[in-house]
Amino acid sequence: MPELNRRQQQAVEHIDSPLLVLAGAGSGKTRVITNKIAYLIQQCGHKAHTIASVTFTNKAAREMKERVSQIIPKSQTRGLRVSTFHTLGLNIIKSELKRLGLKSGFSIFDTHDSHALLKDLMRQPDAKGKSLDEETIKEHFEKIAKQISNWKNDCLTPEQLAQETASDPAFSYHVKIYGEYNHHLRTYNAVDFDDLIMLPVLVFSNHPEVLEKWRNRIRYLLVDEYQDTNTTQYQLVKLLVGDRTSLTVVGDDDQSIYCWRGAKPENLALLEKDFPQLRVIKLEQNYRSTKIILKAANTLIANNPHVFEKALWSELGNGEPIRVMRVADEHKEAVRVVSSLVAHHFRFKKSYGDYAILYRGNHQSRLFEKQLREQQVPYFISGGTSFFSHIEIRDIMSYLRLMVNPSDDNAFLRIINTPRRKIGSATIEKLSHYCNQSNTTLLAACDHLALNEYLPDNAIQRLSEFAHWMERLQRQSDSDKPIKVVEQLIVDIDYDTWLFETSNTEKQAEKRIENVNELVAWIKRLHENEPESSLGDLVSKMLLLDIMERNEDDSANDQVALMTMHASKGLEFPYVYIVGMEEELLPHRTSIEEENVEEERRLCYVGITRAQKELTFSLTAKRKQYGEMIDSEPSRFLDELPQEDLEWLDGKQQLEGEERKEFGKASMAGIRDILG
């Protein structure tokens, strides 16, 4: 990118009033923020430790910090705060423990911890001694968890909500659980993820002297991705800034795609009300995409209402037409997209890291993963549930980890009561205490005679039975083929029945069983390719792949990116495939029913503006839903694009000329890799 353009320079140098930088996709907003930090330090006399810049991801914060260090010497940036909202909130909490009723060393509950606590509270008997059954808990749990998170994001305490007169028993019950949940968090000296923003707002609101102290610490505040702020984050910003002019926020209402988790795009409009002297500077020159791609994005998003109008433009040339692949079903969609991608890769000698496959829902990734694996194409999953992240896959992999490594205590803890063996948390706690005293592993301790001083006979018997069973499988894995041991394991624990018992629907259980079957088939294929491999070798190979998929920095490697459109925000790729362009998928059925298609249109806009050089859509004539093949209808968003720039491809046609030839080369290369 060249030097700052005129509007970017204006945004950097404006300090006379609060500033909103309306930054379109690919318009260089990070450059503006980092250059403004340098300008504040070098030209305006601000000390680095009095400046704070907040964003939403650790990756974005790291990138911002690195870019600042490239502009000005590190000696001038000492003490500069560049972090996520939640990291800033955590630092505030750590400095105000006493006022918040917390002690040092407090825990931060993740989603799993929070959900476990909520479920335990829902199991508690009421004043009449009645308890909810597991079926009722399963039915209502998600709604309660989401409601409590929304209340925290709106900075509403249980005490405030309890004052509302509500005839709805469900509302009163939710408030009651919310109050008990917060009480237990404090008893455990813990906070949850939402508390990291809410508690600083509460301590600032209730203790003016604390707010004044932090206003003196942070004399200039910059906020990235402002359209993604929720109510509590906006209040935190307002409290820190007060009536000063020392605020720059960067945002784009067209890229607000997180309403479902509390983001309020209307916070952009509120700025004009809360900061009457607000200056607005628009960044509309795009440095990422071709004119055809930007024309499609502008035409699509023009169907949404806007507080601030803008139109992206580019000097990068017209570029290629936008391709639309129409195929018979989702299986053929995966084959067609991956075939096209591989052929393009070989024909034009591009890196696999130049390609991204974007989709609306995590469930769409599986078929593309399968095709990429079969074509020996390296890939990584971001922002969604990879194959290895499915609960059922993690369960079986944990059994296999423990089988090949009896010292793996984490694997032991995951599967000791999955499926249930009547080995409760009290038993595990005492077993863990014994292990700490005797310096042994959990699995080894299950058969120690000294356990009778810690546990009752029935608990010892169950632990011993588990240990002996695991030992038998370990011996079997040394003599039998690995696949036989894996199949025996699944039969022994009656895992199919467990999945039916713990799934919300029969269809979901069948899907989870299908995932397990695919894992078994994969292990079988790996062993057929490497007959001399032990079960330990195969497990190590799969765990390595799992770690690679979870590595945040894998996107920098030569791998195709698979991700939801939500996860793709802030990224860019030369060649982008947006799959599943169908009604009730994009836009999603829920958004249609709730009349919230505008956010889905913004999501599609985000997907389109990830593409730098070429963009391809795909859609199917039929798609399986709830076990049945149903007719699919093309997404309304395709109709809203400039039709003259679309090149429709019939899914029945063969790969053309050079593309077919290059795909043939790709397939042969894959075969050679397999054969060594």
Catalytic residue numbers? 29-30, 224-225, 255, 610
Question: What's the rounded Cα separation, in Å, for the pair 278 and 20?
Answer: 7
Contacts of 530 (CB under 8 A, 6+ apart): 537, 538
Q: Beta-carbon neighbour count of residue 489 at 10 Å? A: 20
Reference 372, options 348, 337, 344; nearest CA is 337
Question: What's the rounded Cα separation, in Å, for the pair 432 and 410?
Answer: 12
Category of 422 on φ-ψ map: left (φ > 0), alpha (ψ -120 to 50) or beta: left
Copy the structure tokens of residue 531. 């007959």
How would you class 381 by CB atoms within 10 Å of its CB: exposed for 0-12, middle for 13-18, buried for 19 or more?
buried
Q: What proportions of the chain, in percent to the nearest 5, are helix, strand and coil?
A: 60, 15, 30
The identity of residue 420, as a single letter, is: R
First to last CA, the chain: 43
CB contact at 8 A, 234 and 264:
yes
Reference 258, options 225, 217, 212, 307; nearest CA is 225
CA angle 251/565/270 to nearest 5° reads: 25
Question: What's the rounded Cα separation, in Å, for the pair 233 and 226?
Answer: 10
Torsions phi, psi for 458 (to 5 deg): -65, -35
How would you class 53 by CB atoms within 10 Å of its CB: exposed for 0-12, middle for 13-18, buried for 19 or more?
buried
CA angle 116/122/125 to nearest 5° reads: 135
Question: What's the rounded Cα separation, in Å, for the pair 22 and 59?
Answer: 22
What are the residue ranges of helices labelled H in 375-494? 391-404, 409-415, 425-438, 442-445, 457-479, 482-492
357: Cα separation from own chain's centroid: 16
At 411 the three-state DSSP class reads helix
Q: What is the DSSP letter of 234?
A: H
CB contact at 8 A, 82 and 53:
yes
CB contact at 8 A, 61 and 34:
no
H helix or E strand, kind and range, residue 353: none
Cis upstream peptide for 378 (omega within 30°): no
H helix or E strand, kind and range, residue 196: helix 195-206
Copy the structure tokens of residue 67. 């870019």
